[in-house]
Amino acid sequence: MSLKRQELIAGLTMTGPWVLGLLTLTLYPFAASLWWSFCEYDLLGQPRWVGGSNYARLARDISTGGQFWQALGNTAYYAVASVLLSVLVGVSLATLLSQTIRGRTLMRTLCFLPAVVPTVAAAVLWMWLLDPQAGLVNKALTTLELPAQNWFRGTSAAAWPTSWPTDAGGRVFGSKDGLVLMSVWGIGNLLVIYLAAIGDVPRALYEAAEIDGASPWRKFLHVTLPMLTPVIFFNVVMGLIQSVQAFTDVYLVSDGQGDPAGATMTVSLYLFLTAFKDLDMGYASAMAWLLFVIVAMATWWLFRTSRKWVHQ
């Protein structure tokens, strides 16, 4: 056997398990879901071709403001708020922790620790912290003479104009805002990326800014931030995709039902319930493909607009 043939066999042997996993666990489900989206399929019998009726049903739901439309709105709110806050908090913390200060290593470790906490444990912890009656967050707010919030029990959202003015109790934040706080709490991985990016900024740029008399804020605004924009862009794209796929914490917080009153019913949870509770896999597959198109379009828009603000 020739050496070239031996190398080919060795390469196929090494990559075979990965290729097999890709075909059976990724490409096949991907293609099957596309087929099922045009079928009526209850997971018990054989898929029955129904054409575009599942997509027509989705269109009716969206036009009438049905449950899928509500789930889509909740997902959009959660994705935008969590991504924006993760960028703001991540860049701010990374900038502070990049300074030469005493105890910097310890503070970096403490900021990263939440990222290694299992999702279920983190969800249980935050359900306790944000409990409207006995949660530590509301107790702290009450101590500061601020109104207690309706975390995980309210249907409003702080960023929606319908939350203004607040009710008689001064409650602004609702269930979706609690989910956003949970997501921002675990930004340790993003923090590491931002710290590495800040460390790669050429010191000559800071020295030139100092010669020109730039203040610390000016150095951050005109040196650090522009050099971070490629990393920010990467984290925004990945954060958008991950936030749309968020499931475990949403399922636990809402008892698997999207409560209260559908305030935490995201598309991923609604899709799961439709497929495995209602046994309507065809409709769930149509939802998944519509969500895929929406995320692809949002990602394309981010790439198109990145040339205007990402430093090359």
Check: CB of residue 35 under 8 Å from CB of residue 51.
Answer: no
Domains present along the chain, CATH in parentheses:
79-283 (1.10.3720.10)
pLDDT tens, per residue, the chain with 312 residues: 678 888 888 888 898 888 899 888 889 999 999 999 999 998 888 999 998 999 999 999 999 988 999 999 999 999 999 999 999 999 999 999 888 888 888 988 888 888 888 888 888 888 888 888 888 888 888 888 888 888 877 666 665 555 555 554 566 787 888 888 888 888 888 899 999 999 888 889 888 888 888 888 898 888 999 999 999 999 999 999 999 988 888 888 888 888 787 888 999 999 999 999 999 999 999 999 999 999 999 999 999 999 888 887
Query: Is omega for the bond preceding 47 within 30 degrees of 0, making it cis?
Result: no
In angstroms, the CA 268 to CA 277 distance is 13
Dist. CA 79–CA 2, nearest whole Å:
55
Task: Give the integer Cα–Cα distance in Å for 31 and 115.
Answer: 33
Distance from chain centroid for Cα 177: 13
Pull the structure tokens for residue 264. Answer: 């935490």
Two tokens, residue 43? 């997971």
Radius of gyration for the chain, computed over Cα atoms and rounded to the nearest angstrom: 24
